[in-house]
Structure 1
Amino acid sequence: MSAEAATGAGREPAIRVQGMEKSYKELHVLKGVDLEVARGSIFALLGSNGAGKTTMVRILSTLLRPDAGTATVNGFDVTADAQRVRESISLTGQFAAVDEVLTGRENLILVAKLRHLKDPGTVADDLLARFDLVDAGPRKAGTYSGGMRRRLDIAMSLIGNPPIIFLDEPTTGLDPEARIEVWQVVAELAKQGTTVLLTTQYLDEAEQLADRIAILHQGRIIVNGTLAELKALLPPAKVEYVEKQPSLEDIFLTLVGTNGKGGKDTNDGSGKSSPVTTESSKEQS
């Protein structure tokens, strides 16, 4: 989690929402949402499909107008100062918005030119290095893996150094390795002072990344707090001794490694692969 999150509470929040409402004809999606996001923090908005997460992000990024309530982003009203809000943010949607015909480097140069930045080539090269995409830079984006495409997509979102970034379910459809890659990128963003509002359906994602977590259910925020505060809502944990078996994800990541470059060597030297064996261990949960 970000170091800046601890001090963000004493400053004007990066995002403030009060009494937000939005309906589509008879469907009431948001029913009076209130939330604040501290600067330099990662704020996770959890909710099932149809809970209103994407609608909230679209309002905060000025793509939709609310029916009622107010919202400020970086101190600017999303309705009255929409242009200033757009200058302060970047939005990464559920699907990578890269041009598959262009190379990774060309995608970055294109966005840098659209933002009227000086020396777009240098901007692109710096981001390729930052996101570990230097070797892939000359290749067409259509040849990238899911994790690489998502990293390129986030890199494109950071051109111009926006102080606030919205990530709408950024790891949907990614494999375990790619999810970890994206998690590392998001954590690094917050360390460098970027405010991140993350929507997700994956509880472990919020648990790994977020400084604060809010649950949006049937158009309302039903709980909002740190992970420790949310855990305190339930009865204290009982101390029991359990036999813990490795999960399939544990096995997968052990075998292939978390960076996709190979993990545990299961070859016994005879040219044949030996079966992987694991022993249950008794641990205190």
Structure 2
Amino acid sequence: MRTRLTTATLRLTAGALLALGLLPALAPAASAAPPASPSGKSQAPATTAGTSFLTATTLAAGQEAEVAASTGDYLYWAFPASEGQTDTVQVTVTLPPSMDRHAPQTWTVELFDGLRRRQSCTAGPQSATAAANAPSLAVGCTLRQIRSWAEPWSGDPLPGTYYIRLTTSDVDQQDLGLAAQVKLHITSKGGPNDAQPEGGELKAPLVPPVNAGSAAPGASAAPTATATDGGPAATRAAAPVAQKTHWYSDLFSGWNTRWFWTLGGGALAALAGVAGYTLTRHPHGRRPTQHHGPQH
């Protein structure tokens, strides 16, 4: 009876303390909800890859991919990229056993934007060649910073979907179809706050303004001369240098130039025609006159 009363009393006391908010620490730890893990770390790696742009496997931010592939296949993935980010794609290929291979293999990774334009890489070996006895190889590509705008004629990376294509660019014919393991990892740094055009800000105009009549900094002052009437010194501009002329200068200047070249060109063309006709015409010789003997 005392045990029942004691248990009931403890329950009432605990209920009153919880209602007053004085007993949060006495709640069982197991009843608390588990903390949410970051979305990029909690997702399982993707185990598939597409064979074209239309069937590319979409990867979430921070999600990896581990795919069993065949040597010679085209593998495609897609991932989102936002403004200000700089994304890096790293691929590790575990090659088939060396006893099954006959020659070195070359693997290449390429990145394309949403318009399927091939994007250049700022870092990372896009292509790598593994010897016939090498167990694996690694390729990678670091995109340029995603820009918020671009000129219509430029190929700057813009926010949106980007495609990854992994291919075997050079492989022996006998090694096609051998099993390989591909592990893909995407890392991103930066964000909207880092969305700055490449090259930073322009601190000064490219062409400084030029004020007519003012001397450039550091230039020597113009020579001064004293006025003849005893007044203060006056600055005089240098007189322009007179251009030397000849008797034939007017013949090749102004509107005369057009007539000169027109008439001269016509005369030369006529002479060339006459000379060509003289050199190429066939000589017209006279036929020798046939003399017939007297007819009897």
How does the TM-score come out when normalised to structure 1?
0.18
How does the TM-score come out when normalised to structure 2?
0.18
Q: Which has the higher helix share?
A: 1
Which structure has more RCO (C-alpha within 8 Å, separation ≥ 6)?
Answer: 1
